[in-house]
Amino acid sequence: MGLNKKKAELLVLCVCVLVLCSCGRQKPESRNHLYAGVACYNKSDTFLSQFIICLKEQFDNLGSDDFEVSMTVRDAAGSQRTQDDQVKELIAAGCNILCVNLVDRADPSEIINLAKEKGIPIIFFNREPVAEDMMQWDGLYYVGANAEQSGVMQGELAADVIKAGSMADRNKDGKIQFVILEGEPGHQDAIIRTENAVDTLKKQGIVLEKLCCGIANWNRAQAQNRMMQIISQYQNGIELVLANNDDMALGAIDAYKKLNYTESALPVFLGIDGTDAGLEAVIEGKLAGTVYNDKEKQAQAIAELAVSIIKKGKTAGEGTKAVTEKTGDVNSKYIYLPYSKVTSGNAAGFLDKESKAVK
Query: What are the residues binding ligand BGC (CB under 6 A)?
Result: 45, 47-48, 126-127, 187, 189, 218, 245, 272-273, 293
Which residues make Cβ contacts (< 8 Å) with residue 94, sequence separation at least 6?
A: 35
Considering the complex, state which of residue 58 and residue 217 has its C-beta at the smaller distance from ligand BGC.
217
Residues 152-171 that bind Ca ion (CB under 5 A): 169, 171
CB of 163 to ligand BGC, least distance (A): 26
Considering the complex, state which of residue 46 and residue 320 has its C-beta at the smaller distance from ligand BGC.
46
Helices within 164-218 (DSSP H only): 190-203
169 binds, among ligand BGC, Ca ion, none (CB under 5 to 8 A by kind): Ca ion
CB of 54 to ligand BGC, least distance (A): 14
How many residues bind Ca ion, per CB under 5 A? 4
CB of 171 to Ca ion, least distance (A): 5
Which residues make Cβ contacts (< 8 Å) with residue 176, sequence separation at least 6?
A: 162, 168, 169, 201, 206, 207, 208, 209, 239, 240
Q: Judge whether 42 and 82 are in contact, CB under 8 Å.
A: no
Considering the complex, state which of residue 58 and residue 275 has its C-beta at the smaller distance from ligand BGC.
275
Q: Which residue is nearest to Ca ion (CB)?
A: 169
Long-range contacts of 147-150 (CB under 8 A, 24+ apart): 147/188, 147/189, 147/192, 147/193, 147/196, 148/192, 148/196, 149/196, 149/338, 149/339, 150/189, 150/193, 150/196, 150/272, 150/291, 150/293, 150/339
Which residues make Cβ contacts (< 8 Å) with residue 309, sequence separation at least 6?
A: 97, 121, 315, 316, 319, 320
Distances (CA, A) of 2 to 8, 12, 222: 10, 15, 83
DSSP 259-272: TT--GGG--EEE-S
Contact range with Ca ion by CB under 5 A, out of 115-123, 152-160, 173-181, 253-261? 173-181
Q: Give the one residue of 173, 284, 325, 352 binding Ca ion; rule: CB under 5 A.
A: 173
Considering the complex, state which of residue 170 and residue 187 has its C-beta at the smaller distance from ligand BGC.
187
Considering the complex, state which of residue 247 and residue 304 has its C-beta at the smaller distance from ligand BGC.
247
CB of 234 to Ca ion, least distance (A): 12
CB of 48 to ligand BGC, least distance (A): 6
CB of 197 to Ca ion, least distance (A): 18
Question: Which residues of this protein are in contact with Ca ion, per CB under 5 A?
Answer: 169, 171, 173, 175
